[in-house]
Amino acid sequence: MEHLRIMNRQRAYLDYNATAPLLPAAREAVVAALDMPGNPSSVHAEGRAAREAYSRARDAVARLCGAQPAHVIFTSGATEAASHVLTPDFRMGRAPVRLETLFIGATEHPCVLSGGRFAPESVKTLPVDANGVIDLDAVRAALEGRGEGQFMLTLQLANNETGVIQPVREIADIVHAVGGVMVVDAVQAGGRLPIDIEALGADFLFISAHKIGGPKGAGALISRGETFMPSPLIRGGGQEKGHRAGTENLAAIAGFGAAAQVAVELLANVADLAARRDAMEARMREAAPDVIIHGVNAPRLANTSYVSLPGMKAETAQIAFDMEGIAVSSGSACSSGKVGASHVLKAMGADAELGAIRVSIGPHTTGTDIDAFIEAFAKINARRLARLAGQNAA
């Protein structure tokens, strides 16, 4: 009965960094595409209609990323896009090019930490400071001492757990000065930061549909040009100019395009989102003066708070919030259900075993949602203090 009571009451969804709720425009685009019988590769009228919808989505995603539509490769998501581009095997026109080393930040998403198609011994990790910002001096030293051969460096524009924004352009300039390839994970930036592949200095970047209010199951790898390209991950037919084989997931991609159009418009609301996030954090400090807000002294996404309560494990807090009708995360959604220390907190020198709760709001988060979160936060904190007092008394 308790389970039914909780599921039937109004809940507050504060986990936009895991998945943003599906936008009405994206839902409409998905349904319209599902009603199209044609294959985008077919030449008849039905196929041409499907191809037109596909092209509109490509144009919208390209605009979101400041790229050319011809440079957008659709994938099943950001993880596939990362696995596609994180490879030692490239081609410059028809000539093969081999990359020897992959450099990654210590706080990267698991799909980058895995190293893609690079051998484990070829992957080198770069440190971050206490706020989770990449250490520029360490980058310079690592690249200068890398040895022979070409290399790639991959970095998040914004961290998925802390929301910390990295100095991507500065890193890209360092990478290009010594002939490297720069890849940017822009997954969390859509609708929250301007994305421009040229301004970022990225050779490649990748994004995901469901982080910006599109459907799950679509993503994109975007390149700066078409001459220097990674070897295909999925081979077969000639879809995506031979870069990614397989019949296109038209419904998901159409929804992706619709969400990309909205994501550009959402940038106008970033200042308001930051003000609401800051007010929420101030109320958390009032309720629990010892609360730790990770990355607070660095530039962060306007919607993200990553917080720890001393003496309380993140998994315990997440369950407690869920029982109060509040949806939050205890780290990357891709790692949910796995008990273990946060690699992000560990890299920052924080208490990785304790973990942290990620609260990520969005344009549809209401004042009522935040009030409900703060009420639950105060209750959970009161129970924490009572437990710690009991332990001290014993």
Distance CA 324, CA 14 (A): 13
CA-nearest of 359, 320, 140, 118 to 231 is: 118
Burial class (CB in 10 A: 0-12, 13-18, 19+), 9: exposed
Torsion of CA 341, 345, 351, 352, to 10 degrees: 0
Per the DSSP assignment, residues forming a β-bridge with 73 are 221
334 is catalytic: yes
| Cα–Cα distance for residue pair 27/23, rounded to 1 Å | 6
Question: What does the alpha-carbon distance between residue 20 and residue 348 come to, in Å, rounded to a whole number?
Answer: 27
- Using left for φ > 0, alpha for ψ between -120 and 50, and beta otherwise, residue 213 falls in left
- Distance (Å, whole) CA 33 – CA 36: 5
Element of type H or E holding 105: strand 95-105
Catalytic residue among 334, 352, 385, 388: 334
Q: Which residues are catalytic?
A: 334
